[in-house]
Amino acid sequence: MDAWQELIFLLEGVPLTLSISIISFLAGIAIGLPLAFIRAYENEVSFVVDAYEKIFRGIPEIVLMLLFFFGLGLYFPFPFGNAFFVAAFVLGLRSGANQSQIFRGAIRGVGDEQMIAAQSIGCSKWQAIWHVMVPQVLTFSTPGLGSEYALLIKDSSYVWVIGGLAEIMTRSIWLKNVPPYDVVTPFVFAALLYIALTFPIALWLDRWGNKRKKKIGL
């Protein structure tokens, strides 16, 4: 297999890499945003959020993937026997812990004045959070979210440890075992693909966030 064929073979793994990354990123938002507001405004249960963040930021993704797929997968084939589900699930859990901290920093950036003003005109606490705080927090968070999405694309490379998914890294490992047994070129191509996938989205989110801040006067 020549270099061009190797590159084409790796490119065929891009959609799967992006699918895992996008789903886990959205799962991270769904987890991290509520956790950040709970941590900020519900002191009574903030210890639960703190524990969640410490656990899922402290355990390596590889360990979690092996635990869920080869451990829980034995007893619960559905859904933990599915490699795609486990990959997106584990990365989503870890991303939720990271995004919780990103959103919490954005909440501090917005400040309590917005919350107080919304409540002063009759909004309940959670109405003020949803209608006033969340849009601004998402805008403040865009640089951090861009970095987090880039990190998820790179972390999707850990999926090769559980097998069954032909994403970029798994395909690179397959290629090194194909004659003429080139152990360099596949990984160089893989590195370039990861750069190509991470840099544009992170740059776009950063620029979009800056434009959005100017538009709403932040």
What is the DSSP secondary-structure string of 121-176?
TT--HHHHIIIIIHHHHHHHHHHHHHHHHHHHHHHGGGGGGT-----HHHHHHHHT
Q: pLDDT tens across 52-85, in order?
A: 999 999 999 999 999 999 999 888 888 999 999 9
- Give CA–CA dist 96/99, Å, rounded: 5
Counted domains in the chain? 1
CATH value at residue 193? 1.10.3720.10
Domain range for 155 is: 3-216
Q: Which two tokens stand for residue 35?
A: 């956790």
Higher-confidence position of 72 and 42 = 72
Q: Which two tokens stand for residue 120?
A: 């002063």
Q: pLDDT tens across 14-34, in order?
A: 999 999 999 999 999 999 999
Q: What is the pTM of this model?
A: 0.89
